[in-house]
């Protein structure tokens, strides 16, 4: 019975350790994301101007794509390149 208690104790300690480490990874990752988004924002207007220059004749489609990305990502996403696949 002593070996069973030891095994269950090790199982519990191991599972708690893994849970704590994964929770720390999630919390630290979210903090890094918030820090970068708050203190290192990218100007959306500059990205739109760069993409409009690269597109050329089909500006309506490009504007629709940029607008869709801005709506879906709440202004946090950016369009850097569009390629037909």
* Residue 6 pLDDT level (bands cut at 50, 70, 90): very high
Q: What percent of the chain has pLDDT above 70? A: 76
pTM higher than 0.75, yes or no? no
Residues 6 or more apart whose Cβ sits within 8 Å of residue 78: 42, 44, 47, 69
d(CA 78, CA 47): 7
> Per-domain residue ranges for the chain?
1-41, 43-85
| Chain segment 72-83, per-residue pLDDT in tens | 888 888 887 777
The 8 Å CB, 24+ separation contacts for 14-17 are none
Element (H, E) at 25: helix 2-39
């Amino acid at each position: 019975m002593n070996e069973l208690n030891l095994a269950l104790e090790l199982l519990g300690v191991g599972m708690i350790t893994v849970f704590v480490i994964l929770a720390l990874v999630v919390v630290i990752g979210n903090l890094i994301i918030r820090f970068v988004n708050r203190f290192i924002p990218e100007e959306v207007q500059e990205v739109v101007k760069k993409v409009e220059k690269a597109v050329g004749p089909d500006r309506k489609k490009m504007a629709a794509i940029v607008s869709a990305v801005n709506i879906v990502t709440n202004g946090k996403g950016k369009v850097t390149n569009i390629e037909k696949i």
